[in-house]
């Protein structure tokens, strides 16, 4: 299973001077995404006789553990993908191939990539992975409720102040919840709140990623905004997730993947827009996605894996990939390509605000301790929103714990 060795036969040698190379590719893309990957692999193999790529699906909840086990047992695949939040541990494992020499030889233009996702593959001056898919967060809103409240359904809120006012108006006129927040804790709460933190001008950690920075005035402002939405304005509530999808809330922050799933689930007219930011502040959003990387093996296998990744990452293939899967572009040349933009306009118009938001998407801290950090931050958010602590106190206590975690 580990990189599969180059297999040379007398018959093949007589037919072609090239070596036959078998590659294994671990991933967790299922359904339409898995089918799209296999279609592209088939396309690549047809154009590159002698290269055999076996794509092996591993459930998303199991892939990171399987990768770590494979690294420990020295039985890694040729290449794999991983959620970007798992990359800090993987790049520190010593099992990944630095991509810099390959990228230099292939003249890869890293400047064409949106810069946020690239940080997850950086370690000690090297680049160990490349983004191959992305997602982010933006605003979804119920146009029917906007109309019932006497609001223009084509004018979603652009600022926090407008979001608050629109939520109040809709709640007063329709009785529906104004804005749904994810308050159940864990990464869902932390991931959403970080958008507010960045929007207010703050950050999660300091620039060196060595200490908490979320307990700043900007952090307090962002958390106080959540507290006010729930406790002062009462346009949001602490309740199980799903009010927006049932038509019981007018607005929600959710991911780009929901441009595909919401239309299948709802019975109202749906709108999407970049997520509002405080008046006078630049917009912000969070990002998700996957990165692809190569495990150390024999030089021929590493080169063959890189050749596939280089092809898979090219702009024409990424346009195919994003159109087949609905993933967000990881490269500016894809986001700006007329063929891609026309496809979004004509086929998936709800996606356009998400595509535009990639330019200001922030990466979550690329540290191995991110999962614990996120849980502790979410606890602080819940303490403040439920009135068990003031925002500043909750964030300061969480910062002390996070600082100990990062030491």
**pLDDT of 3 higher than 80:** no
- Identify whether the C-beta of residue 5 lies closer than 8 Å to the C-beta of residue 304: no
Which band of pLDDT confidence, cut at 50, 70 and 90, is reported for residue 7?
Answer: very low
Q: Collapse the DSSP code of 320 into the 3-class scheme (helix H, G, I; strand E, B; otherwise coil) and give the result.
A: helix
Helix (H) or strand (E) holding 178: strand 177-180
Mean pLDDT, range 115-137, rounded to an integer: 96
C-alpha–C-alpha distance, residues 357 and 155, integer Å: 17
| Signed CA dihedral, 319, 324, 330, 332: sign only | positive
Statement: residue 176 has pLDDT above 50? yes
Strands 79-83 and 20-27: parallel
For residue 183, give the nearest of 361, 388, 366 by alpha carbon.
Answer: 388
**What's the helix, strand, coil split of the chain in %, to 5?**
50, 20, 30
Task: With cut-offs at 50, 70 and 90, classify the pLDDT of residue 311.
Answer: very high
Per-residue burial over 140-152, b if 16 or more Cβ lie within 10 Å, else e, is bbbbbbbebbebe
Phi then psi for 271, rounded to 5 degrees?
A: -125, 160
Q: What angle do CA 206, 210, 213 make, to 5 degrees?
A: 35
The helix or strand, by DSSP H or E, that contains position 301, with its residue range, turns out to be helix 299-312
Q: Is the pLDDT of residue 145 over 50?
A: yes
User: What average pLDDT score do residues 278-303 get?
Assistant: 96
pLDDT higher than threshold 80 for residue 166:
yes
Contact between residue 164 and residue 196 where contact means Cβ atoms under 8 Å apart:
no
With contact defined as beta carbons under 8 Å apart, do 108 and 137 qualify?
A: no
What mean pLDDT comes out for the span 67-75?
Answer: 96
- CB environment 283-295: b (16+ within 10 A), e (fewer): bbbbbbbbbbbbb
Kindly tell me if the per-residue pLDDT of 130 is higher than 80: yes
Asked if pLDDT for residue 9 goes beyond 90, the answer is: no
Kindly tell me the burial class for residue 79, based on how many C-beta atoms sit within 10 Å of its own C-beta (0-12, 13-18, 19 or more): buried
For the chain, the average pLDDT equals 94
Neighbours of 11 (CB within 10 A): 7
Alpha helices, H only, 228-298: 258-265
Tens digit of pLDDT for each residue in 188-207?
999 999 999 999 999 999 99
Q: For residues 228-246, give the mean pLDDT.
A: 97
Name the least confident of 14-23, 296-305, 373-382.
14-23
- Cα–Cα distance between 32 and 249 in angstroms, integer? 30
Q: How confident is residue 10, by pLDDT bands cut at 50, 70 and 90? A: very low
What is the rounded average pLDDT of the residues 281-292? Answer: 96
Residue 286 DSSP SS3: strand
Q: Select from 42, 31, 62, 251 the least CA-distant residue to 140.
A: 251
Q: What percent of the chain has pLDDT over 70?
A: 95
How many residues are listed for the chain in this entry? 407
């Amino acid at each position: 299973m580990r990189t599969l060795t180059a297999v040379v036969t007398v018959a093949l040698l007589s037919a072609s001077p090239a070596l036959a190379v078998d590659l294994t590719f671990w991933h967790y893309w299922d359904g339409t995404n898995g089918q799209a990957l296999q279609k592209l692999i088939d396309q690549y193999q047809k154009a590159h006789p002698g290269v055999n790529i076996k794509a092996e699906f591993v459930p998303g909840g199991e892939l990171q553990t399987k990768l770590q086990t494979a690294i420990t047992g020295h039985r890694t695949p040729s290449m794999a993908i991983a959620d970007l939040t798992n990359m800090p541990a993987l790049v520190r494992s010593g099992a990944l191939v630095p991509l810099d020499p390959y990228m230099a030889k292939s003249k890869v233009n890293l400047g064409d990539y949106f810069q946020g996702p690239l940080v997850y593959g950086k370690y000690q001056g090297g680049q160990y992975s490349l983004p191959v898919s992305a997602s982010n967060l933006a605003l979804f809103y119920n146009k029917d409720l906007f109309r019932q409240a006497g609001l223009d359904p084509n004018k979603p809120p652009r600022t926090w102040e407008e979001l608050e006012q629109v939520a109040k108006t809709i709640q007063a006129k329709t009785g529906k919840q104004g804005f749904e927040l994810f308050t159940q804790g864990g990464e869902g709460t932390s991931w959403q709140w970080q958008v507010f933190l960045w929007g207010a001008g703050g950050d999660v950690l300091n620039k060196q990623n060595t200490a908490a920075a979320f307990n700043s005035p900007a952090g307090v402002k962002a958390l106080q905004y959540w507290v006010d939405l729930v406790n002062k304005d009462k346009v949001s509530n602490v309740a199980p997730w799903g009010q927006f999808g049932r038509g019981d809330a007018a607005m929600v922050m959710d991911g780009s993947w929901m441009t595909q799933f919401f239309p299948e689930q709802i019975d109202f007219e749906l709108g999407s827009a970049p997520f509002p930011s405080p008046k006078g502040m630049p917009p912000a959003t969070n990002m998700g996605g996957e990165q692809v990387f190569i495990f150390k093996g024999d030089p021929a296998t590493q080169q063959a894996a890189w050749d596939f990744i280089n092809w898979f990452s090219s702009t024409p293939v990424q346009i195919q990939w994003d159109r087949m899967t609905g993933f967000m572009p990881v490269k500016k040349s894809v986001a700006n390509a007329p063929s891609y933009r026309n496809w979004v306009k004509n086929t998936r118009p709800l996606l356009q605000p998400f595509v535009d938001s990639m330019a200001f998407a922030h990466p979550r801290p690329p540290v191995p301790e991110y999962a614990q950090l996120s849980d502790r931050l979410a606890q602080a958010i819940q303490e403040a929103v439920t009135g068990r602590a003031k925002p500043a106190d909750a964030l300061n206590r969480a910062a002390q714990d996070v600082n100990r975690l990062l030491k």
